[in-house]
Amino acid sequence: MTKRIPVILDGDPGHDDAIAWVLANASPLLDIKAVTSVCGNQTIQKTTYNAGRIMTLIDLNVPLAMGRVKPLVADPIIAPTVHGNSGLDGPALPEPKHKPVEQDACTLMAEVIEASEEPVALIPTGPLTNVAALLLLYPHLKPKIRHIYLMGGGIQYGNWTPAAEFNILVDPEAADIVFTSGVPITMAGLDVTEQALVFPEDFERIRAVGNPVAKVVAEWLDFFYGFHRSIGYPGAPVHDAVAVAALIRPDIMTMEDMYVAVETTGDYCRGATVGDRLGVLHRPANARVIMGIDREAFVDLLVEAATCYNKGGERA
C-alpha cells in the first residue's frame, strides 16, 4: 500500500471547490491534513461558513482555518452571479459541526507543513492570497511543500476579463509571488478546465448513486450549470476538481512545462497568466500547465468519488 500524500485544501467555496473537495476526500491516495478558506467567490466569512458546511456533509474532520479578509493588495471581487449570494446556493447543507480554529489560514498551513514528516501538497482552488502569505512569512518551509496543484489562470484567454481568469485576477500580486516562488506548480487553467465539462446527463449519473453526498453534488451541478447555460455552455465546467484530478489521475491529462508570468499591471491585462509555450523568452519553466483532459474519464472520476460516500454521508 503506497503512503497517502498529505494535502491541504485551500478554496473559496464555491460549487466547484465543493465538488473538488468531495473528490479529494474520496481518494485513497490523499491524506487531507487541513482546509483553509480564502476570499474569492464570496466574502471570507461566507467561504469559511461554506467550507464548514461542506466538511460536515462529507464528514471531513480536520482543522479549518479562515483566510485573509481581502487580497494582498487589491480590493475584493466576488462572484454572486455564478455561485449565488451565499457562495454555495442550491441544496440545503448541514450547519458546520466544527468552528474554524483560532489560527489564521497561513499559520495553520505552516503548522501542518512543519509537523508533517513528508512534504505536503497544496491544492488551492481560489485566489492565491493564503498561499502567497505562507510563502512570504515562512520561506524556510518551501522545501517541505511537495507541489502546488492550483486551479487558476489560462494561457489562451480569461473568463473575468478577456485576459484574466477569476482566481488570478482577484489577487494578481499573490499569484505572482506563487509563480516566482520556485515551488513546483501544476496549473489547471481555463485551457483545460473549460474542457472538463460535466453535462446534464452526467449529473443524472451522479444523482443516481443515491447517497446524500451524491444527491447534493448533483444539485450543486444543477445550480452551477444554471449560470453557464445562460451564457451558452453545454455543460458545467467543474474547474476546481481538475486541480485535484491532476494529483490523483495525471494520466488522463496532457501537460506542458513552460515559463508562466503573471501580469500585475495594465488596463486590460492585469491578472493574465502569460505562458511562454514556444520558449521564446528562454527562461526555465516554472509551471506544468495542463492543456488537455479525457473528459469522460474525468466525469467517471466524479461518479466514482460519489459512490465512496455511504448513506450517512461519511466516506465508506
Catalytic positions, please? 239
Binding part of the chain for Ca ion, among 15-23, 81-89, 260-268, 287-295 by CB under 5 A, reads 15-23
Binder of residue 235, out of ligand RIB, Ca ion, none (CB less than 5 to 8 A by kind)? none
Q: Dihedral through CA 254, CA 7, CA 143, CA 255, nearest 10?
A: 0
- Using the minimum distance from each CB to ligand RIB, give the nearer residue, 52 or 211: 52
Binder of residue 224, out of Ca ion, ligand RIB, none (CB less than 5 to 8 A by kind)? none
Strands 253-262 and 145-151 turn out to be: unpaired
Cβ–Cβ under 8 Å, residues 251 and 150: no
* Residue in 7, 8, 17, 263 binding Ca ion, rule: CB under 5 A: 17
- Using the minimum distance from each CB to ligand RIB, give the nearer residue, 166 or 298: 166
Q: How far is the CB of 215 from ligand RIB (least distance, A)?
A: 21
List of residues contacting ligand RIB (CB under 6 A): 12, 14, 16-17, 40-41, 125-126, 151, 159, 165-167, 239-240
Cβ neighbours of residue 125 closer than 8 Å, sequence gap 6 or more: 9, 10, 11, 12, 14, 16, 17, 20, 150, 151, 167, 239, 240, 243
Residue 82 sits at φ, ψ, to 5 deg, of -95, -45
* Residue in 5, 6, 14, 241 binding Ca ion, rule: CB under 5 A: 14
How many chain residues touch Ca ion (CB under 5 A)? 6
Residue 263, CA distances (Å) to 131, 182, 251 in order: 18, 17, 31
Q: How far is the CB of 3 from ligand RIB (least distance, A)?
A: 29
Q: By CB under 5 A, tell whether 125 contacts Ca ion.
A: yes
Cβ–Cβ under 8 Å, residues 183 and 143: no
Binding part of the chain for Ca ion, among 6-14, 72-80, 128-136, 264-272 by CB under 5 A, reads 6-14
- Using the minimum distance from each CB to ligand RIB, give the nearer residue, 37 or 211: 37
Q: How far is the CB of 256 from ligand RIB (least distance, A)?
A: 20
Q: How far is the CB of 224 from ligand RIB (least distance, A)?
A: 9
Given the rule CB under 5 A, which residues bind Ca ion?
12, 14, 17, 125-126, 240
